[in-house]
Chain A
Amino acid sequence: MDFNHTEERRMLADSLRRTLERGASWSDLAELGVLGALFTEDEGGFGGDGYDIAVVFEELGRAGCTLPVLEAGLAGGLLADCGKSDLVEQVIGGELRVALAHAEPGLRYDIGPITTTANSGTISGRKSVVSAVDEADLLIVSAMDNGTLSLFSVDPKGAGVTLHTTPSLDGGTVSEVTLDAAPATALGGEISMLEARLATATLAVCADAVGAIETVKEMTLDYLRTRTQFGVPIGKFQALQHRMADVAIEIEMARSAVINLAGHVKATPIERDRQVSAAKNLVGRTAHLVAEESIQMHGGIAMTEEYALAPLARRLVAVDHRFGDEDWHLERFIRLSA
């Protein structure tokens, strides 16, 4: 048993942290190897292990980064599954931005059944709450083709595609995507690939959450040490101390949950998804607990948009809504444990 990251991962994390502190661009991330770390050597990258994903996304979360790295891994990963190594190479190089349009209205967090349909080289249907489409060069779309789920690539700026884009809770954008006989290229693919990539993407969300949580914890501790009321720093009050101690314990639990999940993303599908649901249930709970507690312990200042906590608190609340909330995962955990 070993709970230390390899030297390579630590170095990647350190340089990513420094780069993000300076304000990183998409090409900075590509140059640094962050996008390559999402893919295995077979896929043309130099990582792709659960712990590679965990290390990268913890740093992105810590910095509050809103660049669509998760989408690159998720949609790019599906391209790799479909054997599109030329496109994957462009994703890793930062030249091609991709996003996955899978979820549909009414599905909540379920993976299916979807109703978007492929028909002689075109796709029609509606995809809902799709992340980072407005910045994407290529959209990977799931659709039913003769009764089977298959994957297609669509030009998001092309004919038959209408986007309604809004800012999202976690600082990026989401779009409602309407596809009306949009020209599409068949990629092949099947639902098991989608499930496996969504498992890894859920790990990414969990690790991102732990990173953001660490930043929020430091901000809150700093505030408890410096904000004075009744003539003393408010961190001297036992009511706040014990609240913070409990939060600190839950944070360690969330960190352990991410470690557990990272060690199981390549497990058999049932064991993998059982671990995904265990981790996402726990991290989802912890993320909104930390958001709520940090706002409460700060007091009024944390209610303002001006204070730096606001985007991080929103990001943590959003965690529970991506790829299944705590109830959805609890239910799936029960089903998979039976």
Chain B
Amino acid sequence: MDLNYTADELAFRADVRAFMKAKLPTDIAAKGASGEALNKADMDLWHARLNEQGYLAGAWPKSFGGAEWSAVQKHIFEEETAFAHAPRIVPFGVGMLAPVLQAFGSKEQQDYYLPRILSGEDWWCQGYSEPGAGSDLASLKTKAVRDGDHYIVNGQKTWTTLGQFANKIFCLVRTSSEGRQQQGISFLLIDMDTPGIEVRPIILIDGVHEVNEVWFTDVRVPVENLVGKENMGWTYAKYLLTHERTGIAGVGFANAGLASLKRVAKTEMHHGRPLIEDPHFAARLARIEIDLMAMATTNMRVVAGADAGAAPGAESSMLKVKGSIIRQQINDLARRAVGPWAIPFVSEDLDSNIYHPGPDYSAKASNTYLNNRKISIYGGSNEVQRGIITKAILGL
């Protein structure tokens, strides 16, 4: 038992921290700290700087030009990203599609797509969920029918995060209705410029355009855009779900959020004293901090296990449930902390010329709280995760 990082890991952390200090533009960090949405230019710039440093492909295998970070290194990078209020790596290309292509894609697909992911030439989005297929993803209905050298795709995807910026989408589509639902699904790469694709914005509860609906009407996709084998898409999707799991607990975000919350609570006044000295508030805060201390170690136990070769399977469901609850509790307390300043509701995507009247730190407290209700829903809702825990860990 040893709770300390190795000298190499500490050196890696120092490198990442120095990089953040040198390369993260202050305006982007300020947006990150206040919870303001980033625009595409912000995200593109950060993507490019990470790529120059070799950090973008940090988690990729060396055979694909990556740095093959250990799970502990990935965790350190995520922690430092959150600590610096840097944008997280947009995961769809780098963290989600790339591992699938590396494991199941053809040589041609790997050679063509992987460099374009790193260069930023391609911005990928994810076509998984459908209006009728949420937690029951395998019931998806978007259909791909073979027609010579093409698939003809018809259907609708939803919750497509940042799809408005994407030029490519990887989709789960139904290629067979025989056998179990899971057996008739294929993994297709689709160009967003293809005729018949329409992207419609969905404005979320915090007033932000973050997700979209994507409609497919007789969209012709070349057969070489199939990843792996036809009807094997569910296997690839599941591989993806178990792949990038070190960050699932969101400990870095939670630590950064808690630090911001403490700063706010030292500034806001209550009965003439800093809010942080109010016993009721202090008790709520302390309880979250105590949970987070245990969560950080729970996370590291799973991360260290992953480095030792144990696949973090169902344990990551535990991390997701508890990690999302802790983050939501921090957001909840951050909203309470700003008091009545939580009431003015200003969102750039709704009204670009209205400014929040309160202190800067209060402007996004409600918006962030509302937006992060998503984290116990997406990626398999907490109820789905409890189902996985029940079967895989508890054997019930």
Q: Which residues of A contact B (CB under 8 A)?
A: 1-6, 51, 221, 224-225, 233, 235-236, 238, 241-242, 244-246, 248-249, 252-257, 259-260, 262-263, 278-279, 281-282, 330-331, 333-334, 337
Contacts and interface: CB of A to CB of B under 8 A. Distances in A.
Contacts of B68: none
Contacts of B1: 2-6, 51, 259, 262-263
Given A1-B5, A51-B1, A241-B390, A337 B289 contact: yes
Nearest to B4: A1
A221 to B, nearest CB: 6
Given A1-B5, A5-B1, A263-B1, A253 B322 contact: yes
A333 B1 CA distance: 25
Given A241-B386, A281-B290, A252 B298 contact: yes
A260 B290 CA distance: 11
Nearest to B325: A249
A326 to B, nearest CB: 9
A242 B386 contact: yes
A146 to B, nearest CB: 37
Given A3-B1, A248-B318, A253 B294 contact: yes
Given A241-B390, A249-B321, A256-B298, A1 B304 contact: yes
Contacts of B14: none
B387 interface: yes
Given A221-B394, A244-B394, A253 B5 contact: no
A3 B72 CA distance: 13
Nearest to A275: B293
B301 A334 contact: no
Interface in B300-347: 300-301, 304-305, 318, 321-322
B287 interface: yes
Contacts of B296: 256
A231 B395 CA distance: 19
Contacts of B293: 257, 260, 278
Contact of A241 (B289, B297, B396): B396
Nearest to B387: A241
B290 A256 contact: no
Interface in B65-97: 72
B377 to A, nearest CB: 16
A164 B255 CA distance: 49
Nearest to B389: A245
Given A256-B297, A330-B290, 12 more contacts: A1-B4, A3-B301, A4-B1, A221-B396, A241-B394, A246-B321, A248-B318, A253-B322, A256-B298, A257-B297, A259-B301, A334-B283
B259 to A, nearest CB: 13
A4 B390 CA distance: 26
Given A1-B304, A241-B396, A330-B286, A282 B390 contact: no
A330 B3 contact: no
A245 B297 contact: no
Interface in B277-297: 282-283, 285-287, 289-291, 293-297
B203 interface: no
A136 to B, nearest CB: 32
B386 A246 contact: yes
A298 to B, nearest CB: 14
Contact of A263 (B3, B304, B385, B396): B3
B286 A260 contact: no
Nearest to A329: B290
A267 to B, nearest CB: 11
Contacts of A256: 294-298, 301
Nearest to A2: B2
A233 B394 CA distance: 14
A248 B394 contact: yes
Interface residues of B, number: 39
A235 B300 CA distance: 30
B383 interface: yes
Contacts of A221: 394-396
B287 A245 contact: no
Contact of B390 (A242, A281, A330): A242
A331 B290 CA distance: 12
B390 A253 contact: no
A331 B282 CA distance: 9
A235 B283 contact: no
B352 interface: no
B393 interface: yes
Contact of B290 (A6, A225, A333): A333
A1 B396 contact: no
B63 interface: no
Which of A221, A233, A255, A337 is packed against the most chain B CB atoms within 10 Å? A337
Nearest to B283: A330
Contacts of B321: 245-246, 249
24 contacts: A1-B2, A3-B304, A221-B394, A241-B396, A242-B390, A245-B385, A245-B389, A245-B394, A246-B321, A246-B386, A248-B394, A256-B295, A256-B297, A257-B290, A257-B294, A260-B293, A260-B294, A262-B1, A263-B2, A263-B3, A282-B291, A282-B294, A330-B286, A334-B282
B386 A254 contact: no
B394 A259 contact: no
A51 B3 CA distance: 11
A169 to B, nearest CB: 24
Contacts of A1: 2-6, 9, 72, 300, 304
Nearest to B307: A1
Contacts of B300: 1, 3
B286 A333 contact: yes
B389 A334 contact: no
* 8 cross-chain pairs, A with B, having the tightest CB-CB distances, nearest first: A256-B297, A235-B396, A245-B386, A245-B389, A241-B390, A263-B3, A256-B294, A256-B298
Nearest to B396: A235
Contacts of A233: 396
B10 to A, nearest CB: 11
A253 B301 contact: no
Interface in B1-25: 1-6, 9
Given A1-B5, A259-B3, A249 B389 contact: yes
A253 B295 contact: yes
Contacts of B387: 238, 241-242, 245
B389 A248 contact: yes
Interface in B102-131: none
B307 to A, nearest CB: 9
A248 B286 contact: no
B12 to A, nearest CB: 13
